[in-house]
Structure 1
Amino acid sequence: MKLRVSLFSLLLLAACATAPTGPGYRDTGQPLSVTTRSDHARLSGDWVLRAATPPTPDMAGLVAVGFHPGETDTFTFTRRVCDAGGACETRRITRPATVLGPNRWRLSGPSGALELWVVWVDEGYRTAAIGTPDGSFGWVLDRAASGGGDRITAAREILEFNGYDEGALRMRPEGDNT
């Protein structure tokens, strides 16, 4: 009888637990690392999205990310948005960023606060793996829309090592920079 009461209590507690508020593509029980390469001048500029987890509504159609360090760091997100009739347009939004530490920022936006962490960047600052501690998304960014297959693979493996579900990362067609 005591075992039944204890089991019932555990089930009741589990039923009262709060469910996650959004999709998680990362095992948050695994620590998320941040790269030790920290050169804002080399990280700055435009990056093409090469692979990503399924996007949040405000990041749907994301094709590029720009990082602009300065007195106030900013990120520019370029999205390709198409209507039901197939007409597409490019939209850009710039968000100011609060520096949390080397290679870590907090951005505010329509879906609330968002933390961006540079998990890995190659030595030449050509390819980067970007993630969020809550696992809401992971990105592989590159300076070019094609090439660098070895670096793209390395970025995907680094995200997987940091708890991301590699099966959730979707590759964009190589050469697609629209």
Structure 2
Amino acid sequence: MLRRYLLPCLVLTLAACGLNGNYRDTSIPMESVAQLDTERYLGLWYEIARFPNRFEEGCVGVTAEYGLLENGRISVTNSCRQGTLDGELEVAEGSARIAAPGQLKVKFVEWLPFEGDYWVIGLSEDYSVSVVGVPSGDFGWILAREPQISDEALAEARAVLERFGYDTSRLSYTLQEG
């Protein structure tokens, strides 16, 4: 049981050090959104799509939930089901801090000195769809408040990724209920 939680945390830590695949042309400058209302961003997000990564292998029904901690940090709870929507639930808990507008530093193993980048690079005006990337290009996600989004919203999110040099042909779409 401990191995199931420690392994994803270790993989995330190693990935933060650049040991994952690269999905973007890093010669293209990447910017986060100029303003992020943290309180509006908190809550439950469904993963619509992601660039493949080791710590989400076999995951479907993926969600990320953010909350405010007493110390001012943000709680991060990532959940997925293995293989099928009724598969075994896996949960990884961590925390994040705001590094700059639209930019978070996330860690899943508090005693390790490594933090991963989490940049909100696109956000719908109503905070219903978020596009997340990292400068290294090793990760990227499209998240939404609902398990499904319209084709138009998906096209807009993909366009954000492409604007910052991501190869969206390599996106993997996440099976969600609904």
Give me the TM-score of the superposition, normalised by structure 1.
Answer: 0.77
Residue in 2 aligned with 1:3? none
Q: Does 1:115 align with 2:117?
A: yes
Cα contact 1:129–1:138 (8 A) shared by 2:
yes
Runs (4+) off by over 6 Å: none
When Rg is computed on C-alpha atoms for both structures, the one with the higher figure is: 1
Q: CA RMSD in A?
A: 2.3
Distance 1:154 1:91, change over 3 A: same
TM superposition shift of 1:170 = 1.8
Q: Cα deviation per residue 1:59-117 (whole Å; 9 max; x = unaligned)? A: 3316111122341112111121259xxx8211222211122111211122369531100
SS of the aligned residue for 1:156 comes to helix
Q: Cα deviation per residue 1:11-53 (whole Å; 9 max; x = unaligned)? A: xxxxxxxxx6321011111111111231111111101011111
Residue in 2 aligned with 1:58? 55
Q: Cα deviation per residue 1:106-162 (whole Å; 9 max; x = unaligned)? A: 122369531100001000100010011111111000111123321221011101111
Amino acid at match of 2:19: T
Cα contact 1:48–1:177 (8 A) shared by 2:
no
SS of the aligned residue for 2:169 comes to helix
CA distance in 2, matches of 1:113, 1:72: 13
Distance 1:120 1:68, change over 3 A: same
Residue in 2 aligned with 1:14? none
Residue in 2 aligned with 1:74? 75
CA distance in 1, matches of 2:167, 2:48: 16
CA distance in 2, matches of 1:144, 1:128: 11
Deviates more, 1:120-129 or 1:101-110: 101-110
SS of the aligned residue for 1:49 comes to strand
SS of the aligned residue for 2:80 comes to strand
Residue in 1 aligned with 2:19? 21
Number of residue-to-residue matches in the alignment: 153
CA distance in 1, matches of 2:65, 2:139: 17
Q: Does 1:125 align with 2:124?
A: no
